[in-house]
Structure 1
Amino acid sequence: MVPTKQKEIHLANRPKGMPTNDDFEFVEQDIPTLEENQVLLRTLYLSVDPYMRGRMQDAKSYIAPFQLHKAIVGGGIAEVVESRSEKFKQGDIVTGSLKWAEYSRMSDQKVRKIDPASAPVTTHLGILGMTGLTAYFGLLDIGKPQPGETVVVSGAAGAVGSAVGQIAKIKGTRVVGIAGSDEKIAFLKEELGFDEAVNYKKETFAEDLANAVPNGVDVYFDNVGGPVTDEVFKLLNTNARIPLCGAISSYNKEEDLGPRLQSYMIKTSALMKGFTVGNYAADFENGSKQLAAWLQEGKLKYEETIVEGFDKTPDAFLDLFKGTNIGKLLVKVADPEYAKL
């Protein structure tokens, strides 16, 4: 039975520095009635991701900012509970860009059906979704790793970084991960098969990193920027490639100053290219098929940190910037009413 009211999470303020719970507001809304070619979705899982911090600013970017006092939007998994579409029926499991809300009314063009029997549904927000595709295209198209080269990954225990390292291993490279705890270092080496991993929070980080890459760095997949990247750039080889995916170290800083990178890039003839996964939308199907094949073959592993409860969504988002999660960080909102997962 579908209720008449539901909760949404809106952006209350544009944060300055690190966001707080005061920047979010819970709002009760009526559950809307359906029009033709629409579906009513019950949210099962929400993805919280670093890029959302940028959308909280009213600034020009590759994607429009969130609107104040409107629901925040991000990747999600949901169950169809009512349908006025020939494409979907009650009980179908779908993924798409969903409101931070318990229920959503969506056009049938804005979501796609997923098969719960093929893999756990949460993988479509992680290793088989935008996370995996970000790693896949950024590494292979920009990084172009070759057998025997050294690939360094920052934020290596996160959802994207952990996928990058594994794909780099599939391509025959030596992989070094950078993460922020001994637990994460052990996870990278023992669970994911990284050749080496170093803890950037240790005072010996610069020395440890240099020792981990005796032959220098051929590909640097950058998820964090900041002081970590400053140290990696000192170790670049000639013709190094740097896929620039994220800069989480600076997302909550009002001012971020650091060493200049130009001299390192000139001396090494390095290539650095920023990207977003949307650049590769035309090739998502091929990328997804390859990721799924590697997953089924046991060549890819994934880890998830799942926070229980819709009310915990803002807390889960804030945890991204504390570095507490391993792998993909998700919020479980509800269990399905009609489907069996």
Structure 2
Amino acid sequence: VLQTTSDINHSLDSLRRLLVPGGLLLVVELTLAHSYFDLIFGLFPYWWRDGHSRAPLTIDQWRQAFESVGGFEPMVVSAKANAFGDSLMIVRKSTARSVLIHLSEWQDQAWLLFADRGHNLSHALVPYLPSSNIEILPDTVTIDHISSTIDVMLKQYKHLHIIFAWPLDILQLGQNNNETTFESHVEHLCYKFVYILQSIQKYHRQNNSFPYVFILTQNSQPMHEKSEFNPTIAPLIGLARSLSVECPRHHIKLIDLQPTADVFVESSYSDILIEHMINSREADNLNEVILSLETNNRIQCFQWHYDWLQSKELQELSSKLERTIVPKNDADKIPFRLQVAPSRFVADLAWMRDPIPINNLLPGQIQVRIHCTSLNFRDVLKIRGLYPHTRVFGQRDCDQPLVDRDTTPGTDFMGTVILSHSKDLKIGDRVIGLWSSGTFHSHIILDTSVVSRVPDECLLSDEQLAALPTAFLTALLSLKHRIKLKHGQTVLIHAATGATGQACIQYCQAVGARVIATAGSDAKRFFLRKHYGIEHVFNSRDLSFVTEIRSRFPNGVNVIVNSLSGPLLQESFKLLAPHGHFIELGKRDVYARTSLPIFNLRQDCNFHVIDLALHAIDEPDTIHEMIDDVLDHFQRGLFKPFEPLTIFEPSEVIDAFTQCSLGLSMGKMVVRMTNSEQPILLKESDMNTKISENSSEGILNC
């Protein structure tokens, strides 16, 4: 069919662009046209090339066509034309760099190398890259230089490939590096990598494909019978894994070099590394590999699987059976819970059968059937293995305090008491509460100090009730109990469309404080103006709010409720009026150990770090009082439910966590549990599990 195209040279050029250097093109075409063919095909326009000569090319004409297009080695004809007139012709794309460098497919692409210093691998790869458009950046460049380079290259070339080799310079454990050096190196690396992706997102052209990003590490993936494993770069690998799942368009490829990157500086191995990068571009099963030099001096490619970390016995022990249940009908007979996968990928969340507690309740305890639970960003951090920030390196999850474990997401819930050893609550009472040990269970056992009975006259739905605790308790803890907000004070609330932001707005309006706010989009700012009647609403994504607030409130604001970070936090702090209060909710800069000049506190200002989870542990008796206070505000018409309220069924839990992790939604997200009438698939483990006797925590033993 090639010879029937209007432009044979253009067709061959397009086919050549699809081939890697050394790739083969096999062409079976009619090269000998018998006269009687005119009687069969002569009435078709594609049989004639220029009105009088037949379209089929002879072997010599095919040879001339390949030579004219260029980029191919001399054509080989496997055999003479058969009786019908067909011939098999084979051409191989050139592997000579002197030839390839002039081809359009090489000129349309470019390679950006973030070069390592210690091994000089990046420079060794240059001669083997399939392009002459190469830019090399050392790790000393500024983020502005990175951004401008990516902008220029995306404008100039159709295809951009990025090799991120800076991880090769991270010190290994024991190489004269202290904890501060290690943390700063890894922090700097993750920050720069994210900034690279942000620059790609910012300057990407609509008609071009997203660049392929190859991350090079060494000995960062454990393999059996190899002792050189170096976990120092694990934060970057974890970040890359999460981004590759949640942002697949960035084409992130992890390549771990073993035993060292120095091996691949040699010319023959550099060529293999580049060949792997080119061949892996469209292969999803090569997103994370190990290239290892074996004892026979051959490079072997291993695909990474998480089950490498498990023994055969453990894999057999963890074999799963599956069954389908309808939570509303079956939960009491078949309790269930959410399992966080060892991979810490959102996509790997699954529902598991939960063992039925066999122990008696302790005095002051109740068992609750959870109707609904709501999502907080803390839960997203947990299931992705990013919480808590102060985790001891290498400590197992089951060795963490229960409240900090990755495997215990969820704090807010609404449910019904089904067993009680309390004089204050009886079976059948509807309750809401704050339980830091995980609420993605169909049933939990807990102390009555952290729950409150829902009044019979309360008209809120189960889903609306489940959305309340963390948001409103954070607002009360911050504004009522910590700073004792007064009528007439001015409060700046950042990122105010989230549940906690809305709770703070409602409390401020209840006590008569003046509210100004920020939000990240036009739609969110419109929502705050329309739904809460806030006059001054500014953009939280840049520093424009600083100038606008100063012009309208030259004496500053009395209270700032903050969830921003970096320069946005630093500049916000300067907006405080004398005797002002800065309430820090996000805590990103706290755990990043960001410096904050205490000079800004000189006018009797106060800085408050609010941690509701810690407060619930240290002062659990206050939780019940605060929940009662929230319900009382609703009864008096001072509070109203969050809007919008997004409700998910248990079968949609992955979608719920995915949307929450993006940070783009307003209001609150709630997951139905035993209220759901939609079937869910349970995995039933055959491992022996039990609940500790007389345990108020209701957890599985590690």
Aligned pair in 2 of structure 1 residues 164, 71: CA closer, same or farther (>3 Å)? closer
Aligned pair in 2 of structure 1 residues 135, 33: CA closer, same or farther (>3 Å)? closer
Task: Let me know the Cα RMSD of the aligned residues.
Answer: 3.7
CA distance in 1, matches of 2:621, 2:484: 19
Deviates more, 1:290-299 or 1:278-287: 278-287
> For the pair shown, which has the larger CA radius of gyration, 1 or 2?
2
Partner of 1:21: 346
Q: Deviations over 1:29-70 (max 9, x none)?
A: 2552554338765432112112335654365489745446x4
- Unaligned regions of 5+ residues in structure 1, if any? none
Query: Match of 1:191, SS?
Result: helix
Aligned pair in 2 of structure 1 residues 200, 63: CA closer, same or farther (>3 Å)? farther
Partner of 2:330: 2
Which of 623, 627, 631 pairs up with 1:292? 631
Partner of 1:243: 583
Which of 419, 432, 441 pairs up with 1:95? 432
Query: Match of 2:517, SS?
Result: strand
CA distance in 1, matches of 2:576, 2:546: 14
Partner of 2:609: 274
Question: Does structure 2 retain, via aligned residues, the 8 Å contact 1:42–1:78?
Answer: yes
Q: Deviations over 1:65-120 (max 9, x none)?
A: 5446x45342222345x54768543x543334374545225257576543454241
Q: Deviations over 1:277-297 (max 9, x none)?
A: 326644445544443343233
Opposite residue 9 of structure 1, the aligned amino acid is: L
Which of 269, 292, 303 pairs up with 2:642? 303
Aligned pair in 2 of structure 1 residues 67, 291: CA closer, same or farther (>3 Å)? closer
CA distance in 2, matches of 1:84, 1:54: 33
Please state how far the C-alpha of 1:154 moved relative to its aligned partner.
Answer: 1.3
Aligned residues: 323
Query: Match of 1:184, SS?
Result: helix
Query: Match of 2:373, SS?
Result: strand
Opposite residue 317 of structure 1, the aligned amino acid is: F
Please state how far the C-alpha of 1:26 moved relative to its aligned partner.
Answer: 1.2
Query: Match of 1:77, SS?
Result: strand
CA distance in 2, matches of 1:203, 1:139: 25
Aligned pair in 2 of structure 1 residues 290, 33: CA closer, same or farther (>3 Å)? closer
Opposite residue 376 of structure 2, the aligned amino acid is: D
Which of 582, 598, 613 pairs up with 1:262? 598
Aligned pair in 2 of structure 1 residues 230, 40: CA closer, same or farther (>3 Å)? same
Query: Match of 1:72, SS?
Result: coil
CA distance in 1, matches of 2:620, 2:419: 27
CA distance in 2, matches of 1:230, 1:173: 24
CA distance in 2, matches of 1:84, 1:235: 50
Question: Does structure 2 retain, via aligned residues, the 8 Å contact 1:177–1:198?
Answer: yes
Partner of 1:198: 538
- Unaligned regions of 5+ residues in structure 2, if any? 1-328, 392-399, 678-702
Partner of 1:74: 411
Partner of 1:184: 524
Partner of 2:75: none
Q: Percent identity?
A: 20
- Which structure features the higher share of helix residues? 2
CA distance in 1, matches of 2:357, 2:569: 50
Query: Match of 1:162, SS?
Result: helix
Deviates more, 1:93-102 or 1:234-243: 93-102
Please state how far the C-alpha of 1:138 moved relative to its aligned partner.
Answer: 0.6
CA distance in 2, matches of 1:262, 1:307: 43
Aligned pair in 2 of structure 1 residues 238, 34: CA closer, same or farther (>3 Å)? same
TM-score, normalisation: structure 1: 0.76
1:125 pairs with 2:466 = yes
CA distance in 2, matches of 1:14, 1:176: 42
Question: Does structure 2 retain, via aligned residues, the 8 Å contact 1:197–1:212?
Answer: no
Q: Deviations over 1:129-148 (max 9, x none)?
A: 23212101211233333343
- Give the alignment of 1:205-244 within 5 angstroms: 205-244=545-584
Please state how far the C-alpha of 1:162 moved relative to its aligned partner.
Answer: 1.3
Opposite residue 11 of structure 1, the aligned amino acid is: V
CA distance in 2, matches of 1:140, 1:84: 32
Opposite residue 26 of structure 1, the aligned amino acid is: A
Deviates more, 1:106-115 or 1:135-144: 106-115
Please state how far the C-alpha of 1:246 moved relative to its aligned partner.
Answer: 2.4
Question: Does structure 2 retain, via aligned residues, the 8 Å contact 1:46–1:75?
Answer: yes
CA distance in 2, matches of 1:270, 1:283: 26
Aligned pair in 2 of structure 1 residues 77, 329: CA closer, same or farther (>3 Å)? same
Question: Does structure 2 retain, via aligned residues, the 8 Å contact 1:196–1:212?
Answer: no
Query: Match of 2:376, SS?
Result: coil
- Which structure features the higher share of strand residues? 1
Question: Does structure 2 retain, via aligned residues, the 8 Å contact 1:8–1:99?
Answer: no
Query: Match of 2:475, SS?
Result: helix
CA distance in 2, matches of 1:199, 1:250: 20
Aligned pair in 2 of structure 1 residues 203, 187: CA closer, same or farther (>3 Å)? same
Query: Match of 2:411, SS?
Result: strand
1:320 pairs with 2:660 = yes
Aligned pair in 2 of structure 1 residues 192, 14: CA closer, same or farther (>3 Å)? farther
Aligned pair in 2 of structure 1 residues 311, 184: CA closer, same or farther (>3 Å)? same
Opposite residue 93 of structure 1, the aligned amino acid is: R
Question: Does structure 2 retain, via aligned residues, the 8 Å contact 1:156–1:178?
Answer: yes
CA distance in 2, matches of 1:289, 1:27: 32
Please state how far the C-alpha of 1:241 moved relative to its aligned partner.
Answer: 0.9
Opposite residue 21 of structure 1, the aligned amino acid is: V
Deviates more, 1:233-242 or 1:140-149: 140-149
Q: Highest relative contact order (Cα 8 Å, sep 6+), 1 or 2?
A: 1
CA distance in 2, matches of 1:175, 1:84: 43
**Superposition misfits of 4+ residues, deviation over 6 angstroms:** none
